[in-house]
Amino acid sequence: MSITSTTPRVAVVTGGSRGIGRAITRRLAADGYDVAIVYTSNESEAAAAVEEIEAAGRTGLAYQADIADGPAVERVFAAVEDRLGGVDVVVNSAGIMPLAPVAELDLDVLDRLLRTNVRGAFVVAQQAARTVRDGGAIIAFSTTVTRTHLPTYGAYAASKGAVEALVPILAKELAGRDVTVNAVAPGPTATELFFEGKPQEVVDRIAGANPMGRLGTPEDVAEVVLALAGPARWINGQTVFANGGLA
């Protein structure tokens, strides 16, 4: 079913309770979207995110699910369709980032990373392809580390390379539906996950390496997502690097 000018637009955001995902939910709600967030375990943060959505005058929903669990994700999308009438935009910002040199990474950790970042990305993309209304958008997440090639990021970058490979293929598979499929690849962004375990001198060095002279903010990335979700219709099948010119 196609959307019309009088149909409220509906977004599903995985990882929408914290960090970049949380900023995306706020930005979409401010632009008039009803938003359903999918979270892994932090129920209180998910509830707070819903409150922010509703404070913007939109409908907010929260669902707990493992994005790599196909039946669970299918149930979430069905519930959103039932409650809000359909889905127009899907943003998969959920992911994990364990870091270690290739020679030292525990293979059980690798399996967990691949399950979330590759299988999870595929599961969400699959359900989005089946569900998103004509005229909608599917937005995955990659990382600038696929270009900067930093030590200890090997497994994480490899998982995001898989996402970048999936995006243009899905865009072609959805030809004729006016549904765009893109990935956003942030650079270093000021989130709790980024700051964890980093001394201030390391943070300062990373910020200073950017031509803009600072870290990105979750709001910087959310603006890129908003454009891809709506007005930037001629960007399709691409990975958009949102990093201030770092790479």
pLDDT digits (tens, 9 = 90+) for 74-83: 999 999 999 9
- State the SS3 of 16-73: CCCHHHHHHHHHHHHCCCEEEEEECCCHHHHHHHHHHHHHCCCCEEEEECCCCCHHHH
What are the respective helix, strand and coil percentages of the chain, to the nearest 5? 45, 15, 40
**Percentage of the chain exceeding pLDDT 70:** 98
Q: Which has the closest alpha carbon to 144: 215, 15, 247?
A: 247
Residue 118 to residue 165: CA distance in whole angstroms: 11
Give the mean pLDDT of 96-106: 96
Of the listed 39, 63, 153, 156, which one is catalytic? Answer: 156
Q: CATH number of the domain at 10-242, please? A: 3.40.50.720
The residue ranking higher by pLDDT, 247 or 162, is: 162
Q: How far apart are the first and last CA of the chain?
A: 39
Write out pLDDT tens, residues 33-70.
Answer: 999 999 999 999 999 999 999 999 999 999 999 999 99
Cα 138–142–145 angle (5° rounding)? 165
Tokens of 27: 């930005």
Give the mean pLDDT of 137-159: 97
Strands, E assignment, the chain: 10-14, 34-39, 60-64, 89-92, 137-141, 180-186, 239-242
CB-neighbour burial class of residue 51 (10 A; exposed 0-12, middle 13-18, buried 19+)? exposed
What is the layout of strands, in order, in the sheet containing 89-92?
A: 60-64, 34-39, 10-14, 89-92, 137-141, 180-186, 239-242
Residue 156 annotated in active site = yes
Provide the pLDDT for residue 247.
Answer: 83
Q: Which has the closest alpha carbon to 154: 104, 209, 195, 190?
A: 104
Cα 217–220–223 angle (5° rounding)? 150
DSSP state of 191: S
DSSP state of 216: B
- Where do the structural domains in the chain lie, given as residue ranges? 10-242
Say if residue 1's pLDDT is above 50: no
Give the mean pLDDT of 122-138: 98
Give the mean pLDDT of 1-18: 78
Give the mean pLDDT of 127-138: 98
Residues 31 and 13 sit within 8 Å (Cβ to Cβ): no
- Report the mean per-residue pLDDT for the chain: 95
Provide the pLDDT for residue 197.
Answer: 83
Radius of gyration, CA atoms only, the chain: 17
Say if residue 3's pLDDT is above 50: no
- Tell me the pLDDT band of 6, cut-offs 50, 70 and 90: low
Write out pLDDT tens, residues 12-41.
Answer: 999 999 999 999 999 999 999 999 999 999
Query: Model-level pTM?
Result: 0.95
Residues 117 and 208 sit within 8 Å (Cβ to Cβ): no
Provide the pLDDT for residue 143.
Answer: 97
Say if residue 124's pLDDT is above 70: yes
Give the mean pLDDT of 218-223: 98
- Tell me the pLDDT band of 198, cut-offs 50, 70 and 90: confident
Provide the pLDDT for residue 2.
Answer: 40
245 CB neighbour count, 10 Å cutoff: 9
Provide the pLDDT for residue 192.
Answer: 87
